[in-house]
Amino acid sequence: MGQSLEAAATTAGQVPELTLTGDVARPARLTVPDLLGWPQYESDVSFECATSGVQHHRFTGPLLHDVLMAAGPRFAPARRKDRLRFLIAVSGADGHHALLSWAEIDPDFGQARVLLAVTVDGNPLNRAGPQLVLPQDRCGGRHISGINALRVDGGYPRWE
């Protein structure tokens, strides 16, 4: 199941790190070595870039869903559709940003295997920081390098 965020947070302090905040019970600071504590997945990805053509890369890392679930998102677990109001904002150190819906990554809905990559083409990303990889995206527009922030936002109020 991966390590707890509490254990991961104690190894932080190395740079670069990402902060995981928002509507979660266990905010954390995570580094690439911390992310190695979750099950690792591999994905071969082809991006069609407007300026440089098609690029092929192999990424490894944990699923974004697994890491966020360990943080304890504050949705009502008994109400499956309560998850649908949650958004995930991702920021990179270079100023790039992406927004995903929880439904995209949730196994009960879109089940996209979005990675927090810790290696690219076999090279560790310890110095650059993790990358957001959406293998299903044809264009790499939501690919974020050097992630420095993940924020989970419940957006709308809960309907009771």
56: in domain: yes
Task: Mark out the alpha helices in 12-149 (DSSP H runs).
Answer: 32-35, 64-70, 102-105
158: in domain: no
Q: Do the beta carbons of residue 92 and residue 154 sit within 8 Å?
A: no
- Does residue 45 have a pLDDT over 80? yes
Give the domain range for residue 25. Answer: 5-153
The domain total for the chain is 1
pLDDT at 137: 81
The pTM of the full predicted model, rounded to 2 decimals, is 0.86
13: in domain: yes
Report, as an integer, the average pLDDT of 60-69.
Answer: 98
Distance CA(160)–CA(147), nearest Å, equals 35
pLDDT at 12: 43
21: in domain: yes
CATH, residue 47 = 3.90.420.10
160: in domain: no
159: in domain: no
Average pLDDT of every residue of the chain: 88
Taking alpha carbons only, the member of 19, 20, 22, 5 closest to residue 154 is: 22
Q: Could you tell me the pLDDT band of residue 5, with boundaries at 50, 70 and 90?
A: very low
82: in domain: yes
143: in domain: yes
Residues facing 89 on adjacent strands: 99, 151
